[in-house]
């Protein structure tokens, strides 16, 4: 059986890349996050990545840190994360992105089970190394959800083979050595990394970290199967004077990113 | 595998330790592991480090018997391993000199460090100055205020100090920022982690650089008293000074190993930093150990009068020693620590670090429990110059 995410890639991959939008659960509030997710989808986002807000997000830059802090201040926990997942997954294929400790605390098998029960396709685990994954691999296999690992430019060839062979749904290629945030250009190493992954894996590849405008999205869509945008959406909400304004800005940004992504036909 | 042979190749101490980090750091951690393994058996490295310790750190550190203090500890004999007399005033120098030599071997020119009390930051800045490395120290904004003097010391030594304004603005958040810097600049930069926590190989590597404390002390105790001590005590923040003095004694089954954690206002109040006593199993800063966390796995803020113990995690080897019952961990409140601090000042003419005062308070209790005839070895991990302000405030003395 394949997940909704795998089906999405299967149907679009030969035509174009997909656009994946990230938002932490409960940001800026639980209700408002649903409107933002809806706006992303209305604007052309193909899949949603819901962040599990965490107290010590070492892979995240200031924009996502601030959003996560706000969500945590709102009291967001596993329950709200799964509720948000349910909302998004009813509309488009959706995944959770979470640091490892909240999964371990929730119960590894239970997390995969609840994910599946809420319609989720998979989980991105940015700080779970393949060496520590035994329990997670068993849990995701047993509940038939995707485990999405991140690989970096510094990942050595043998390790790249090993990590990608355990990954399904898509492989998350980190475009640069660094944390999430806005960048003026997509790192040149991203293209090369995608080529290296292609040489060892058939699994779709999505590129994330620092993609924030239509030009960059189009560039990445030229060689990857998916484009992940997070900080740019969050900044649009943070900079708006009201929620209505923020929702409108998110929709506009999604439209522009989607146009960028779709400009690259196979 | 026996306790002294751990960790395994992946950095596990039983079910603790390992690596929980972004993939971007794996290459650097592997490189560091290889450099550490090579250095351990390289006579040149060993000679260079021990030469530095002899001529710069001031090793071996002496042992002082605290006879007047012992009168308040049930009459047990109390021996202080004087890491406070090391250059820069604490045990932290043992680790940074080792890591600085490794940094040079790896061809890196920049080091970053996190600091709480500022002792590790000062030690890192010192090692960087000595070896001509660039140094950036991340320090929670709260701690830059509590430990203002150490901020100036670091700057005098040529380091850049970056106040961290995220989260609780203490050591945990400084560590997050240091890890973000490292993810970004890993090609050129070595992360000089200051305790036996973090992803493999940090817990084992930092332990290896500190275990000289216990190796020296074990011989010194045999020479001084003709036998091993009944118990070895140390305060536990991340756990580096404690593992440093414990390690040589792990095979000596008759020797109790006792770690004293920061009980803050009391573990039952929730305002504490006693990670093993009051925490649960979890992952923080790249390693699996005990963590102060809530039911969602969010790290809970720690509280202690001592900035150096104010950390919601602890090294994985301590978690393991606790689980197998080889070491015991107890909590000491702020008030108990400050009473012991004051007592050591007045009975022995030694102003200890407030971190260290937790171990001294533990000695008073354990001494009462064991009674006269017992002999206790305490790691006097640091001197209290940096804490004069906090102490003055605590005791209501005008400065
Ligand atoms: C004097 C002293 N002792 C102890 C500690 C706690 O660290 P650890 O538990 O790693 O020894 C510190 C930390 O700053 C310190 O400065």
Domain boundaries, chain A: 4-262
Contact B286 A127 (CB under 8 A): yes
Contacts across the A-B interface (CB distance below 8 Å): 112
Contact A61 B26 (CB under 8 A): no
Per-residue confidence at B1, pLDDT binned at 50, 70, 90?
Answer: low
Q: DSSP letter for B61, please.
A: P
Query: What is the separation, in whole angstroms, between the first and last Cα of chain B?
Result: 54
Mean pLDDT value across chain A: 96
Pocket probe mutation, ligand 1, options B83, B84, B88, B90, max atoms within 8 Å of Cβ: B90
Contact B291 A58 (CB under 8 A): no
Kindly report the length of chain B: 399
Contact B23 A163 (CB under 8 A): yes
Q: Which long-range contacts (CB under 8 A, 24 or more apart) does B338-343 make?
A: B338/B305, B338/B391, B338/B394, B338/B395, B340/B364, B341/B384, B341/B387, B341/B391, B342/B395, B343/B69, B343/B72
pLDDT reported for residue A63: 93
Q: What is the dihedral of CA B339, B344, B346, B350, to 10 degrees?
A: -140
Question: Could you tell me the CA-to-CA distances from B161 to B100, B104, B174, B226, B230 in Å, in that order?
Answer: 18, 22, 11, 47, 42
A91 has a pLDDT exceeding 90: yes
Query: Would you call B27 an interface residue with chain A, using a CB distance cutoff of 8 Å?
Result: yes
Nearest CA in chain A to B280: A105
* Cα distance between residue B57 and residue B214, in whole Å: 16
* Cα distance between residue A182 and residue A184, in whole Å: 7
B336 has a pLDDT exceeding 80: yes
Nearest CA in chain B to A173: B23
Closest partner residue to A128 (CB to CB) among B20, B166, B167 is B20
Query: What is the percent of chain B with per-residue pLDDT over 90, rounded to a whole number?
Result: 94
| Ligand 1 center to A257 CA (angstroms) | 50
| Ligand 1 center to B345 CA (angstroms) | 19
Query: Would you call A207 an interface residue with chain B, using a CB distance cutoff of 8 Å?
Result: no
- On chain A, the residues whose CB falls within 8 A of the CB of B298 are 54-55, 72, 77, 102
* Alpha helices (runs of H) in A90-188, residue ranges in sequence order: 100-106, 108-117, 134-142, 157-165
**DSSP notation for A236-264:** HHHH-SSHHHHHHHHHHHHHHHHHHHHT-
| Ligand 1 center to A255 CA (angstroms) | 53
What average pLDDT does range A36-61 have in this prediction?
A: 97
Per-residue confidence at B149, pLDDT binned at 50, 70, 90?
Answer: confident
Is residue A2 left, alpha or beta, with left meaning phi > 0 and alpha meaning psi from -120 to 50? beta
Top pLDDT among B285 and B1 is at B285
Query: Tokens 């996190």 map to which residue?
Result: B114
Query: Quick count: other Cβ atoms within 10 Å of Cβ A86?
Result: 14
Can you read off the two tokens belonging to residue A60? 């995240």
Per DSSP, which regions of chain A are E strands?
A: 18-24, 47-51, 94-97, 122-124, 146-148, 150-151, 171-174, 205-208, 226-229
Per-residue confidence at A132, pLDDT binned at 50, 70, 90?
Answer: very high
Per-residue confidence at A265, pLDDT binned at 50, 70, 90?
Answer: confident
Can you read off the two tokens belonging to residue A115? 């994910």
Is residue B33 left, alpha or beta, with left meaning phi > 0 and alpha meaning psi from -120 to 50? alpha
What average pLDDT does range A171-185 have in this prediction?
A: 88
**What is the least distance, in Å, from the CA of B333 to any CA of chain A?**
26
Can you read off the two tokens belonging to residue B82? 């004087």
**What is the least distance, in Å, from the CA of A11 to any CA of chain B?**
30
3-class SS of residue B183: helix
Is there a contact between A204 and A223 (Cβ–Cβ < 8 Å)? Answer: no
Residue nearest to atom 6 of ligand 1 (CA): B237
Is there a contact between B285 and B197 (Cβ–Cβ < 8 Å)? Answer: yes
Can you read off the two tokens belonging to residue B25? 């750091």
- On chain B, the residues whose CB falls within 8 A of the CB of A77 are 295-296, 298
**Closest residue by Cα to residue B244 from B86, B362, B386:** B86
User: For domain A4-262, which architecture applies?
Assistant: Alpha-Beta Barrel (3.20)
**Closest residue by Cα to residue A177 from A200, A206, A161, A155:** A155
Exposure string of A115-153, with b = 16+ CB inside 10 Å and e = fewer, is bbebbbbbbbbbbbbbbbbeebeebbeebebbbbbbbbb
Query: Would you call A135 an interface residue with chain B, using a CB distance cutoff of 8 Å?
Result: no
User: What order of strands is seen across the sheet that includes strand B12-13?
Assistant: B12-13, B16-17, B287-291, B280-284
**Closest residue by Cα to residue B241 from B298, B194, B171:** B194
What average pLDDT does range A111-139 have in this prediction?
A: 98
Residue nearest to atom 15 of ligand 1 (CA): B308
Top pLDDT among B170 and B53 is at B53
- On chain B, the residues whose CB falls within 8 A of the CB of A181 are none
- In sequence order, what are the beta bridge partners of B291? B280, B313
- Judging by DSSP bridges, how do beta strands B110-115 and B134-140 pair with one another? parallel
Query: Would you call A153 an interface residue with chain B, using a CB distance cutoff of 8 Å?
Result: yes
Query: What is the separation, in whole angstroms, between the first and last Cα of chain A?
Result: 27
* Cα distance between residue A217 and residue A227, in whole Å: 6
Q: Which distant-in-sequence residues (6+ apart) come within 8 Å of A154 by Cβ?
A: A177, B23, B24, B26, B27, B28, B186
Least reliable range by pLDDT among B163-167, B210-214, B265-269, B335-339: B163-167
Interface-testing mutation among A96, A127, A179, A190, with chain B (most B C-beta atoms within 10 A): A127
pLDDT one-digit tens code per residue, B247-286: 999 999 999 999 999 999 999 999 999 999 999 999 999 9
| Ligand 1 center to B205 CA (angstroms) | 16
Query: Would you call A261 an interface residue with chain B, using a CB distance cutoff of 8 Å?
Result: no
pLDDT reported for residue B2: 73
The ipTM assigned to this model is 0.96
* Cα distance between residue A186 and residue A175, in whole Å: 7
Annotation marks residue B381 as catalytic: yes
pLDDT one-digit tens code per residue, B118-136: 999 999 999 999 999 999 9
The dihedrals phi and psi of B195, each to the nearest 5 degrees, come to -150, -175
Query: Would you call A136 an interface residue with chain B, using a CB distance cutoff of 8 Å?
Result: no
Annotation marks residue B216 as catalytic: no
Ligand 1 binding pocket (C-beta < 6 A) is B 90, 116-117, 119-120, 195, 235-242, 308-309, 353, 355-356, 381-382
| Ligand 1 center to B241 CA (angstroms) | 6
Query: Tokens 């500890």 map to which residue?
Result: B73
Mean pLDDT value across chain B: 96
Contact A152 B23 (CB under 8 A): yes
Q: Answer yes or no: pTM beyond 0.95.
A: yes
Contact B27 A58 (CB under 8 A): no
Per-residue confidence at A130, pLDDT binned at 50, 70, 90?
Answer: very high
What average pLDDT does range B98-119 have in this prediction?
A: 96
Residue nearest to atom 1 of ligand 1 (CA): B382
**DSSP notation for B289-317:** EEE-B-TTSPBPPP--S-GGG--SB--HH
Question: Could you tell me the CA-to-CA distances from B86 to B56, B123, B354 in Å, in that order?
Answer: 9, 10, 17
Question: CA angle, B174 as apex, B246 and B143 as ends, to 5°?
Answer: 85
Query: What is the percent of chain A with per-residue pLDDT over 90, rounded to a whole number?
Result: 92
| Ligand 1 center to B273 CA (angstroms) | 13
A44 has a pLDDT exceeding 60: yes
**Residue B64, CB-side half-sphere exposure with 13 Å CA sphere:** 18
Helices A231-239 and A30-43 cross at an angle (nearest 10°) of 120
Annotation marks residue B114 as catalytic: yes
Question: CA angle, B22 as apex, B17 and B28 as ends, to 5°?
Answer: 80
Q: Which of B92, B172, B211, B365 is catalytic?
A: B92
Is there a contact between A220 and A263 (Cβ–Cβ < 8 Å)? Answer: no
Per-residue confidence at A181, pLDDT binned at 50, 70, 90?
Answer: confident
* Cα distance between residue B138 and residue B134, in whole Å: 14
């Amino acid at each position: 059986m394949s997940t909704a995410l795998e089906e999405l890639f299967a149907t679009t991959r030969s035509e174009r890349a997909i656009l994946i939008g990230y938002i932490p659960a409960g940001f800026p509030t639980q209700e408002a996050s649903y409107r933002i997710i809806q706006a992303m989808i209305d604007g052309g986002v193909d899949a949603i990545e819901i962040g599990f807000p965490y107290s010590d997000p070492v892979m995240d830059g200031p924009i996502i840190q601030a959003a996560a802090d706000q969500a945590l201040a709102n009291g967001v926990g596993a329950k709200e994360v799964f509720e948000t997942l349910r909302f998004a997954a009813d509309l488009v294929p959706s995944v959770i992105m979470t640091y490892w400790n909240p999964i371990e605390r929730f119960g590894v098998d239970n997390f995969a089970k609840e994910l599946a029960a809420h319609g989720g396709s998979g989980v991105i685990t940015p700080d779970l190394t393949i060496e520590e994954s035994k329990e997670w691999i068993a849990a995701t296999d047993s509940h038939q959800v995707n485990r999405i690992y991140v690989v970096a430019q510094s990942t050595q060839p043998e390790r790249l083979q090993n990590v990608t062979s355990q990954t399904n749904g898509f492989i998350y290629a980190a475009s640069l050595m660094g944390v999430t945030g806005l960048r003026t250009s997509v790192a040149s190493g991203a293209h090369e990394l995608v080529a290296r992954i292609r040489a060892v894996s058939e699994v779709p590849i999505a590129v994330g970290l620092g993609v924030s405008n239509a030009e960059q999205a189009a560039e990445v869509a030229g060689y990857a199967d998916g484009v992940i945008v997070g900080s740019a959406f969050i900044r649009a909400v943070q900079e708006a004077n009201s929620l209505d304004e923020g929702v409108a800005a998110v929709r506009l940004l999604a439209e522009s990113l989607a146009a960028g992504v779709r400009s690259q036909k196979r | 595998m026996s306790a002294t042979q751990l960790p395994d190749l992946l950095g596990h101490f039983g079910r603790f330790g390992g690596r929980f980090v972004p993939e971007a750091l794996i290459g650097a951690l592997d490189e560091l592991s290889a450099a550490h393994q090579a250095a351990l058996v390289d006579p040149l490295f060993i000679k260079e480090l021990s030469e530095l310790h002899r001529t710069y750190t001031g090793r071996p550190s002496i042992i002082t018997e605290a006879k007047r203090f012992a009168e308040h500890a049930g009459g047990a004999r109390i021996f202080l391993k004087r890491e406070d007399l090391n250059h820069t005033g604490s045990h932290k120098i043992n680790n940074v000199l080792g890591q600085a030599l490794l940094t040079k071997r790896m061809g890196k020119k920049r080091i970053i460090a996190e600091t709480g009390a500022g002792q590790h930051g000062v030690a890192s800045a010192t090692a960087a100055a000595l070896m001509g490395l660039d140094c950036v120290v991340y320090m929670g904004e709260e701690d830059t205020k509590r430990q203002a003097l150490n901020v100036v010391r670091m700057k005098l030594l040529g380091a850049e100090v970056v106040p961290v304004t995220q989260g609780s603005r203490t050591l945990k958040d400084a560590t997050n920022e240091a890890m973000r810097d490292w993810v970004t600049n890993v090609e050129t930069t070595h992360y000089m982690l200051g305790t036996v926590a973090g992803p493999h190989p940090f817990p084992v590597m930092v332990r290896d650089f500190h275990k000289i404390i216990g190796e020296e002390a074990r011989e010194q105790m045999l020479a001084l008293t003709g036998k091993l001590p009944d118990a070895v005590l140390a305060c536990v923040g991340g756990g580096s000074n404690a593992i440093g003095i414990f390690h040589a004694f792990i095979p000596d089954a008759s020797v109790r190993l006792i770690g004293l954690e920061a009980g803050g206002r009391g573990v039952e109040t929730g305002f504490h930093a006693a990670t093993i006593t009051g925490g649960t199993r979890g992952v923080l800063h790249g390693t699996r150990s005990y963590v102060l966390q809530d039911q969602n796995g969010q790290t809970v803020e720690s509280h202690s009068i001592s900035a150096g113990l104010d950390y919601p995690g602890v090294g994985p080897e301590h978690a393991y020693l606790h689980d197998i019952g080889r070491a015991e961990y107890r909590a000491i409140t702020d008030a108990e620590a400050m009473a012991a601090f004051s007592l050591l000042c007045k009975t022995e003419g030694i102003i200890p670090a407030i971190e260290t005062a937790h171990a001294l308070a533990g000695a008073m209790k354990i001494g009462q429990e064991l009674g006269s005839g017992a002999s206790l070895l305490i790691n006097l991990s640091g001197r209290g110059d940096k804490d004069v302000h906090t102490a003055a405030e605590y005791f209501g003395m005008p400065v």
